[in-house]
Amino acid sequence: MNNSIQTRKQMFLALSTVAAIFVLAACGSTNTESSDSVVDTIATTTAISLGDVCPATIVIQTDWFPESEHGGVYQLMGDDAVASKDTGAVVGTLTVNGEPAGVQLEIRAGGPFLESPVVTEMYQDNAITFGYVGTDVAITRYSDAPTLAVFNSLNINPQVVLWDATKHPQVTTIADAAKSIKTFYVYGDPAWMRYFESQGLIQKNQVDANYKGNLLLSTEDAAHQGFATSEPYKYANLETGSITTGYQLIHEAGWNSYAQNLAIRKDRLEELRPCLEKIVPIFQQAQIDYIADPSRANAIIVETVKTFDSWWSQSDGDVANGAASQKDLGIVGNGETATFGDLEESRVTDFIAKATPILREEGLEIADITASDITNNEFLDTSITYQG
C-alpha cells in the first residue's frame, strides 16, 4: 500500500514485452456476510445497474502492482477477469455480490506500467475514471492538476519505519529508534521524513535516501521505510531465518495523510455526478466485504501478478497477511465518524496545515487550499459503517 512516495511504488524497473493473459473462470462467489464485519450489506436480491449513469468501462488507475491494499476494487472484479502483461491491466465485468452491474471494470497497475504519476495520467487519459491519490499528493498537485477524493479506502496509512526488535528490544517509536540506530533508509526525499526531522524525531544526518526496497535488516543494523501490511510478514518468513521487526506507523508519528483515496479529476465532478451517486456506496461496501472475506479477490490479485510476470510477486500468504493486517491493525476503519470511507474535514485541515510548509520547503508550488478543495463526502452512504 504512500508525501505518499512509497518505496515499492517507486522502483520503476523495465519489464519485458511478452504478452500473457489469464481467465479466472471459477474463483467462486463473493461472500458478503460475516459476523465480524458489516452492517447494511447491499442486498443480493437487489439488482444494481450502473450502465445508464456510468462510463461503459470504469477505469481505476492504481499506484502500484496489484496488492491487498487494492483489495476493495478487486472485490468488484467479475469471474471473467482477463489480465494482460502488455497493458498492465485486468478487465472484467463489474459485479456487486456476484451480479453484473452493467459496466466493465478495468484496474490498471501503477509502478513501472506508468510513464508518469497517477494524477498526471488522469489528466492525460480521459478514460481513467478514478485514481489512487493520497492527501499529500492532492495538495502537491492542486495547482496544476486538481483532484477530488470521494472515498477513503484505508483510514490509516500502512507505511512504517521498521527495525530489528531483537537487537533493539526497548525501542517502540521512531524517536526511540533514532537514539540507538545510526541509519534510516528511505527512498528519495519523502515529505514525511522531512516532517519528522522538523519535529526533532530524527536528525537529518541519520537519513540515507538510497533505499532500494530490499530486506536489509537481514544484513545491517539499520531502520528503513516499509509497510505494516508487508515487511513484518516477509521478515518473519525469511528463508535465511526469521527476524522479528519493531515498527511505528508514520501516521502514529504525526504524518496523518489519507494514503489510498479514490479520486476523480476535479473538472469532471458534474460529468461524473450521476455515476458517483451510485458507485461510491458500492466502493464502501466492497472494501468492507473484502476485509470480511478476502479470499476471492486475493486469488484475482495473485493470478494477475503472475500474469504480469515481473520482479514483483505476491504469494497467497502475502495477500492473506495484507488483508488480515489491515483488519488487525485498524488500517481499515471508520475513523472518528460512523460513516465508513469519509475524509474527515478536521483531519484533512490539520494535515494541510502541517504538510504545506514542508512541501514548500521542497521548492514545490503549493496553493492555499481548504479540505473541501480536495475532498468530497457527499456521495457516501452514511448508513454504511464498519464493525471490525
Please provide the average confidence, as pLDDT, over all residues in the chain: 89
Question: How many other C-beta atoms can be found within 10 angstroms of the C-beta atom of residue 249?
Answer: 20
pLDDT band for 115, please (50, 70, 90 cuts): confident
The pLDDT of residue 112 = 87
pLDDT at residue 32, as a whole number: 37
pLDDT digits (tens, 9 = 90+) for 278-323: 999 999 999 999 999 999 999 999 999 999 999 999 999 999 999 9
**104 pLDDT tier (thresholds 50, 70, 90):** very high
- Cell 530486506 appears where? 215
**In the predicted structure, residue 19 carries a pLDDT above the cut 60:** no
CB atoms under 10 Å from CB of 338, counted, come to: 13
pLDDT of residue 47: 76
Q: pTM for this one?
A: 0.87
pLDDT at 1 over 70: no
Region 188-216: mean pLDDT is: 95
Give 158-179 pLDDT, tens digit per residue: 999 999 999 999 999 999 999 9
State the pLDDT at residue 46. 56
pLDDT band at 66 (very low <50, low <70, confident <90, very high): very high
Stretch 268-274: mean pLDDT, rounded? 98
* pLDDT tier for residue 20 given thresholds of 50, 70 and 90: very low
Which secondary-structure segment (H or E) carries 305?
helix 295-308
Report all structural domains of the chain as residue ranges with CATH numbers, in order of start.
Answer: 7-155+257-374 (3.40.190.10), 159-249 (3.40.190.10)
> Which band of pLDDT confidence, cut at 50, 70 and 90, is reported for residue 38?
very low
Bridge-based pairing of strands 245-249 and 184-185 is: unpaired
Nearest in space to 232 (alpha carbons), one of 332, 331, 162:
162
Sign of CA pseudo-dihedral 377, 379, 381, 384: negative
